[in-house]
Amino acid sequence: MIDRTEFQPQAYKSTHGIKPLNIAPVADRFLATAFDFVIFTPVVGLMLAPLFRRLELISMSSPQSTEFTVLAALAVFYICILSCLLQTLFLVWKKATPGQLFFKLRVVSVDHPEKHLSLTQSLLRSVLWTFEFFLLLLPFLEVFSDQQRRPLHDRAAGTMVITLKKDAEIAPHQFEAELVRKVMALSFMLLFFWGLTGVSHFYRMAMRGEFKRSELIANNYLCEEVSRSLDEEDAQNDGLRIDKAVGLYLASEVSDDCVLSEADFALWSSSDEGADWAYFAKGLIKKYDRELAASYFEQACQSNDQGAACELAKIHQGLLGAGENENVDPSDFSEQVKETETAQVLSAVYDFEQARYAEAEKRFVSLKETKGYTHFAQKGLIKSLWAQNKKEKAEGAFLGSLLQENSSEQRDVMAWLCLEQLDDQCSPKSKQACESLKEQYVGNLHQVENPLVAVALIKEKDCRKSTDMEIARFHELFKEYPDVLTWTKAVTEESNLSSTERLDLLRELSFRKTPVRPQVVRTQALQTLAEKSLRKSDIELVMKSLDSRKIKDLAWDKVFNKMKNRNLPTVEEDRQPASLKQDPSGEQ
């Protein structure tokens, strides 16, 4: 056993031998420090109140801004400076901080314990004391290992903390001192490695250029796609911006969110310009909530009852009550409406749906020249060329579009073209479009997310009896689009249903009141039904639904043709759609 008295002179003799210096108890020192914090915090808080007030506000509103970082750093800096100054002041004046005064502790110079501390000594001690906080308080642990219980700041400044009470502290045991030193060394090592990894992480981030956040934040107020589609001067004009945004939205070139942010910008800025368009845009987006949409359309006219947006809003409001297949008739548009891009998009769509393919082609060609509508116009052009039986031209345009970037829009066109070809000829003969569509999916495990693509692939499988696509691939899609599943059951051989069951499923899809998602399933079902059903009631229903349609686009034409091919007596000449009269060679 080690005799403890050997290590610890209870009272340390100063070099001058005047007074014994009693080592201060660690618990007292700890409490004194806590006490100092309680006393100094409000004082420092009072001095830095404006800074803290600002900091709190910024931390709520934009905690990621540079302003916050700068303010926080300033606050830390000022707190350090102030606490250093306050400590120095008290040490020079009273040889103790307020907490130490209260617990009867004094900081004395080891060489001259009876004298006051010098300013240099006090300043050095408090600066080091503050700095030790940035080293995670580890140097404070020395109070458990040093024989005189003098941590770094005490030894550097040549000071020592003594107590005026009688119960003085003893020096630490050798083992204790050794243990604390080992723990400190280990902690510093860990701290060092942690710092090293941190620094190298930031270094790598900086080299990869990931500190670009400020640029990203600056850009999210307005929709970027719209800005890109406009010339620089026009981009500043609110009225033009929102018209462009609505046009692009109707051409499904931009998302809902994009148009919403544009509309909000127009509405909440001080100028009235574009408010009518903004309301119209919001009404379009909220069209599934009829009441809300109606009130938006009304508002569009209230803010400007002469404008083009008001006219468009009125037309759309009239359509709100009608079914899914209604569409805007652009022939009633006034001159000022016809000038807008929105009207051009609507007209192109309308012409195509009314089977005026030659006019639609012209419109799509002119839209292709307009900035921003590339995908929409390309798709429309291919479709209208195809519909006019200019199949080679259409395939050429399609191949041309393949040269551009690969996108979901493109897969849409591929699927459409594939379906058209299969509708033409449903037999095991190879076709270009279906092949390029299949290339995207066969041989890899891409999920099929587009319902039109799924319908095309399933139809291809059914027609050409190909085996390279598994029905299981569409499993996820069936969950989201149950109508596609129903249709698949009705047409593929794998479902093992009887022909009556199949026809029942097709009937449900064809004549259901509620909308079928996607719509192509309904036209496909009608086509099959028109071909295969022997029931008279079915034929009558198909005729009825053909009659009730205002839009007679390509898909409906085909239903009509299939009906015609059966030479049923119910078919009358005057029910023929316009396109067939113009182009009798048609698709028969």
Partner 1 sequence: MIVPWLKGFVDFSKSPMTWALIAFNLMIFLVLSDADSIRSNREIIRSNELTLTGKLYYQYKKKLPEKPLLTSSEWMLLGAEALRNKDFLSQFESLQFVGDQVEIGLWRDKIKVYLEQNNQRSSQIYGLQNRESSWRTFVTYQFMHASWMHLIGNMMMLVIFGTVLEMSLGGAFLIFVYLLGGCFAAESFLWMSKSSAAPMIGASGSLSAVMACYAAFEIKKRVSFFYMISPVKNYYGWIYLPTVLIFPLCFLPDLVGWVSTPEELGSGVAYTAHIGGAFFGALLGYSLKYLRHRPGFRIFLKQVSKY
Site residues, partner 1 (CB under 8 A):
25-27, 30-31, 34, 38-39, 41-43, 45-46, 48-50, 52-54, 56-57, 60-62, 167, 264-265, 267-271, 278-279, 282, 292, 295-296, 299, 302
Which residue number, 101 or 110, has a Cβ lying nearer to partner 1? Answer: 101
Q: Which long-range contacts (CB under 8 A, 24 or more apart) does 79-82 make?
A: 79/44, 79/48, 80/130, 82/44, 82/47, 82/48
Q: DSSP of 176-190, one letter per residue? A: HHHHHHHHHHHHHHH
Which residue number, 220 or 500, has a Cβ lying nearer to partner 1? Answer: 220
Q: How far is CA 190 from the centre of its chain?
A: 38
Q: Angle at the Cα of 278 (from 313 to 369), degrees rounded to 5?
A: 85
21-49: burial string, b at 16+ Cβ within 10 Å, e else: bbbbbeebbebbeebbeeebeeebeeebe
CB of 520 to partner 1, least distance (A): 34
Q: How long a stretch of residues is the chain? A: 588
CB of 166 to partner 1, least distance (A): 13
Which residue number, 294 or 343, has a Cβ lying nearer to partner 1? Answer: 294
- Closest to 242 measured CA to CA, from 274, 200, 217, 268: 274
Is-contact 31 99, C-beta < 8 A?
A: yes
CB of 346 to partner 1, least distance (A): 23
d(CA 397, CA 410): 12
d(CA 452, CA 245): 26
- With H, G, I as helix, E, B as strand and everything else as coil, classify residue 475: helix
CB of 171 to partner 1, least distance (A): 15
CB of 466 to partner 1, least distance (A): 50
CB of 82 to partner 1, least distance (A): 13
Helices (H) and strands (E) in the chain, counts: 29, 4
CB of 310 to partner 1, least distance (A): 15
Token digits for 349?
A: 């769509």
CB of 31 to partner 1, least distance (A): 6
Q: Angle at the Cα of 494 (from 408 to 419), degrees rounded to 5?
A: 35
Which residue number, 46 or 472, has a Cβ lying nearer to partner 1? Answer: 46
Which residue number, 236 or 565, has a Cβ lying nearer to partner 1? Answer: 236
CB of 580 to partner 1, least distance (A): 45
CB of 89 to partner 1, least distance (A): 16
Token digits for 500?
A: 């009556």
Per-residue CA distances from 157 to 184, 439, 515 (Å): 21, 79, 85
Q: DSSP of 81-144, one letter per residue? A: HHHHHHHHHHHHHHSS-HHHHHTTEEEEESS-TTSPPPHHHHHHHHHHHHHHHHTTTGGGGGGG
Which residue number, 52 or 131, has a Cβ lying nearer to partner 1? Answer: 52
Which residue number, 296 or 350, has a Cβ lying nearer to partner 1? Answer: 296
Which residue number, 25 or 158, has a Cβ lying nearer to partner 1? Answer: 25
CB of 264 to partner 1, least distance (A): 7
Q: Angle at the Cα of 40 (from 36 to 43), degrees rounded to 5?
A: 160
CA dihedral 76→81→83→87, nearest 10 degrees, is 160
Which residue number, 312 or 539, has a Cβ lying nearer to partner 1? Answer: 312
Which residue number, 48 or 184, has a Cβ lying nearer to partner 1? Answer: 48
Which residue number, 22 or 523, has a Cβ lying nearer to partner 1? Answer: 22
Beta bridge partners of 105: 163
